[in-house]
A and B are shown apart, each in its own frame.
Chain A
Amino acid sequence: MAEETKPPAPAVAPPKPALPAGPPPPKNPGFVTFTIDGREAVVKPGTNLIEAARAVGVDIPYYCYHKRLSIAANCRMCLVEMSNAPGGKLMPACQMTAAEGIAVRTDTAKVKDQQRATLEFLLLNHPVDCPICDQSGECKLQDYYMKYDTRASRLQSPKVEMRKRVPLGPLVVLDEERCILCTRCVRFMREVRKNPQLGVEARGNHSFIVAFPGHPLDDRYSGNVVDLCPVGALTSTDFRFRGRVWFLSSARSVCTGCARGCDVFLDYMRDTTYRYRPRENEAVNQEWMCDQGRLSYKPFNAKRVEQARVGRAPGRMATRAEAAAKAGRALGVHAGQGTLALLASPVASLEDLLVSLFVARDGLKLSDVYVGGRPDGWQDDFLKRADENPNRKGLELVARALGFSVKPAAELAAAVEAGSVKAVWAVGAELPDPRLAAILAKAEALVVQATNESELTAAATVLFPAAPTPESDGTFVNFEGRAQRFEMAYWPRFDAQPHWALAGEVGITLGLTARWPTARDVFEDLGRRVADDLPGYRWDSLPSISRRKSLVPLAAGTVDGRLPGYRERMPLDGSGNVVWSRLPSR
């Protein structure tokens, strides 16, 4: 009945009241214009204040915010003053988007007070762990404390104690006391991996990060949560307690774990690689990498071929020059006979392959290249490729450019088995099938250039020590045809040299005259042949970082914007052993 009592709708709508005066038109149509600390910022609509401030050179501190994760706004470190905030409240800069004409201030007493208070709360129950914490030196708590707080502790009561060692999974250990509950790790697993293996349990002061009972953090990308953790709560079982970050230097490298070629920082001290950290590249890996790739640096440090050897194992140690002469003779007698084969590894760099194939063509009259390399592994739709060789595409490009036909290693094994191939030159000892080593060992002459000891190196009649990625400059071409440079982190260990230098030495014993002092010279000279396949690629695309005042502080424990240990790039023994052009054996 209520409907009946309603007054009838007027036949004609009353005139609408005049709209209140709308906001003034934007100063820059299509963009939002506002000020941060008095500096005018022009950003796209929807840009959050942290990114907008960064664009005009204002630093807003934050812990929980991450540009590739959803906004949590729980750390309260990024609170700023905004002219349009209700009641003059401080607003989280990560969550607030820029609005036309507003004024944002990050430098007022109120904001500074809030930052100090936030830090005081975050540090209230933080254990005194810096001396034993792996994050120490790259810790946001330390950085922000010195920048925004520097006050003494006022805590009178004992700190809350929680669990110190919670193995979340095979690669990640949690220290609940250090955790500031920013939930970056939780959000990464949920949003990026779509595999929510982590969560927050309990409430308030009792909260802690947890993996579900019976379900360890075994995702294949779990290592990324260690990088994401702004404090020392999540540490990597691999790096844990192995080195202090302020002693490490970084080189810009490329992961050799698969054909994706994720950009990484290779952290090293002296001539040892300590870890990989993903390096940002929007086109390749954003800023992630898989756990398998993260651990793929291990062969750089262990079971290396240390010195040239003549004769099958145990053989006799030899100088590189002697080995090169032996190799030249052993291969040279088969040149042009059809009884010689080149086995090239797609783990070697583009420069390595350019020289090797060049020598094989001009010095040994070969026109076939058999492709070795590691066997295929798993693949997913995120980063990891089944092909676990970083440079297969590069090998194909070089082979095509130099007129080689590419054949699988299995065919070579068959030919050796049949006795039609009597001499094999292997540039890189990786084999797609471990059984092939025993067959190749039957060759009369087996010249192997290898970074690591293996069944094939044991069978080699001449063995050269080759330098892996951190010990040389070079280029990898990933499966998409994207060429990426990696830089030398430290000088080659032992008597090792890059494949291209070793191949060049062999070439000289075969009567070739071409010499290249550096990898750059190799690319300048031979790289022209593949330049068309690598559009836009410049070898010098990685500017030198060995200088103070480099634009981007790279190292983990960067002190004062300069790389710790950058002097270690100089030869340790002063022997001059590293200047390729001055090598006695060349």
Chain B
Amino acid sequence: MAKDIETQKAPPDALEASFPTKRMHLNLGPSHPAMHGTVRAVVDLDGEDIHSMKLDIGFLHRGFEKSCEGVTWTQVFPYTDRLNYVSSIMNNVGYALAVEKLCKIDVPDRAKYLRVLTSEMHRMCDHLTLVGAMGLELGAMTVLIYAMEARDIIWDRLTEICGARLTSNYARVGGVARDLPPGWGEKVLKTFSRVTELRDEIDKLLTRNRIVIDRCQGTGVISREDAINYGFTGPCLRATGEPYDVRKASPYLVYDRLEFDVPVGSRGDNFDRYLMRMEEMKQSDRIVRQCLEQMEPGEIALADYRYVLPPKPEVYGTIEGAMAHFKMIMEGIKVPAGEAYSFIEAANGELGFYVVSDGGGRPYKLGVRAPGWNMLMALPQMLEGQLLADLIPTFDTINMIGGEVEQ
């Protein structure tokens, strides 16, 4: 063999000659660091080009929808925390709105503001996570560190409200769990000035970075039509030029009282999707500040014993409160029979909850429309013919979250 190689002479046009490749299957994940969310991608490679790919999901499946049928309406909230676990309050709020739609109840103003405020803070966390992880996987470790710092100090503020960094369990049917601690608003503003610094730093590091531009611009492209047909929502849809945002198209809570812009891209590639996130963080910042200004003191939950637990002095001191508490805890709130679909703009797009009640204390059926599912479904098409290396930023920017895609 060695002799053969020695005697072989390179042809004169060797550099222009096509490189002989062979097809191979590559298993990416489920435990690959770039496949966060525990997904397995079976990539059919032709050299370095992706010929086709298949996605194997289900490694994070835990029967969310079915589990919800076994617990009371209120006990579902902690389960929703585990859907998109980076922005759990938005899941809480989405589910609460669906149940409230079925109950035909409206929550107090302050609760609405609190829901919006915390949701937008979690939206920032979600986007920071995406940007940081994308930076890391494109080789920019510093970005991740900056993003994590920003995310952590936001989480610190949210912890002061709901007691948990990740699994917030903050919303309730009829309101929210707790009011803001005193002096919290000022702390948030202080936090946000640091977050802004970090965000700008990340912006400087990435947005005009040659490597990032080369790797993201023109990769993972999806057209506006395809995106709509696949059911894209959220930043991934807006990156293609479709200006659809649930907060504007069908305003819920107090979004109609707030001023904010919806960034829209044009190319539908990884870079546009990244830019959407950077801009939305700024808009969330605006929304939070407006909420803090507009919010007035008041009730944070309905005073309705059918749906909201009575205050503890009532529970311990009066039989009415004790009974209401007992019945709601042991049997669950009685949601009128019927079905409802409610949807909100979560960090990655339209998060929908479909709930069916038989009039009892537990959901008869519950379904989730996870925004990440549609993007994930389009991934093979987006990557066909692209380089294997492009899979990484594309998987990052569609921001598929295993917790919600695999219900």
- Do residues A145 and B316 form an inter-chain contact, with CB atoms below 8 A? no
- Do residues A123 and B319 form an inter-chain contact, with CB atoms below 8 A? yes
A71 interface residue per 8 A CB criterion: no
> Please, which residue of chain A has its CB at the minimum distance from the CB of B310?
A152
C-alpha gap A245/B321 in the complex (Å): 20
A315 interface residue per 8 A CB criterion: no
Q: Counting chain A CB atoms within 10 Å of each CB, which of B318, B320, B321 scores highest? A: B320
A95 interface residue per 8 A CB criterion: no
Taking CB atoms, residues of chain A closer than 8 Å to B305 are 146, 150-152
Within 8 A of B (CB), among A529-560: 557, 559-560
| Known interface pairs A146-B327, A246-B330; A126-B321 also in contact (CB < 8 Å) | no
C-alpha gap A123/B303 in the complex (Å): 20
Taking CB atoms, residues of chain A closer than 8 Å to B324 are 145-146, 150
- Do residues A560 and B331 form an inter-chain contact, with CB atoms below 8 A? yes
Q: How many B residues are at the interface, by size bracket?
A: 20 to 34
> Please, which residue of chain B has its CB at the minimum distance from the CB of A149?
B320
B165 interface residue per 8 A CB criterion: no
> Please, which residue of chain A has its CB at the minimum distance from the CB of B314?
A152
Within 8 A of B (CB), among A93-130: 123, 126-130
**B362: contacting residue among A130, A136, A246, A560, CB under 8 A:** A560
Within 8 A of B (CB), among A240-279: 246
Taken residue by residue from 432 to 443, chain A's Cβ proximity to chain B (1 for < 8 Å, 0 otherwise) reads as 000000000000
- Do residues A560 and B316 form an inter-chain contact, with CB atoms below 8 A? no
- Do residues B334 and A146 form an inter-chain contact, with CB atoms below 8 A? yes
B387 interface residue per 8 A CB criterion: no
B160 interface residue per 8 A CB criterion: no
B268 interface residue per 8 A CB criterion: no
Taken residue by residue from 304 to 326, chain B's Cβ proximity to chain A (1 for < 8 Å, 0 otherwise) reads as 11100010001011111111101
C-alpha gap A557/B361 in the complex (Å): 13
B332 interface residue per 8 A CB criterion: yes
A142 interface residue per 8 A CB criterion: yes
> Please, which residue of chain B has its CB at the minimum distance from the CB of A153?
B318
| Known interface pairs A559-B361, A560-B360; A155-B318 also in contact (CB < 8 Å) | yes
A137 interface residue per 8 A CB criterion: yes
Taking CB atoms, residues of chain B closer than 8 Å to A142 are 323, 326-327
- Do residues A152 and B362 form an inter-chain contact, with CB atoms below 8 A? no
C-alpha gap A131/B322 in the complex (Å): 8
C-alpha gap A153/B317 in the complex (Å): 9
Main secondary structure of the interface of A (DSSP, over half): loop
- Do residues A141 and B323 form an inter-chain contact, with CB atoms below 8 A? yes
- Do residues A559 and B318 form an inter-chain contact, with CB atoms below 8 A? no
C-alpha gap A350/B316 in the complex (Å): 52
C-alpha gap A127/B320 in the complex (Å): 10
Taken residue by residue from 53 to 82, chain A's Cβ proximity to chain B (1 for < 8 Å, 0 otherwise) reads as 000000000000000000000000000000
Q: Counting chain A CB atoms within 10 Å of each CB, which of B303, B321, B323, B360 scores highest? A: B323
Taking CB atoms, residues of chain A closer than 8 Å to B362 are 560
C-alpha gap A131/B319 in the complex (Å): 10
Q: Counting chain A CB atoms within 10 Å of each CB, which of B314, B327, B334 scores highest? A: B327
C-alpha gap A151/B323 in the complex (Å): 11
- Do residues A130 and B326 form an inter-chain contact, with CB atoms below 8 A? yes
- Do residues A152 and B331 form an inter-chain contact, with CB atoms below 8 A? no
Q: Counting chain B CB atoms within 10 Å of each CB, which of A141, A142, A560 scores highest? A: A560
**Would you list the 9 A-B pairs with minimal beta carbon distance, nearest first?**
A153-B318, A560-B360, A150-B305, A153-B320, A560-B361, A126-B319, A146-B327, A130-B322, A145-B323
Q: Pull 11 A–B residue pairs with CB atoms less than 8 Å apart, ordered by A.
A: A123-B323, A142-B323, A142-B327, A145-B327, A146-B305, A146-B306, A146-B327, A146-B334, A150-B324, A152-B318, A153-B314
Given A128-B322, A246-B330; 20 other pairs, CB 8 A cutoff = A128-B318, A129-B319, A130-B322, A142-B326, A145-B324, A146-B305, A146-B324, A150-B306, A151-B320, A152-B303, A152-B310, A152-B314, A152-B320, A152-B321, A153-B318, A557-B330, A559-B330, A559-B361, A560-B360, A560-B362
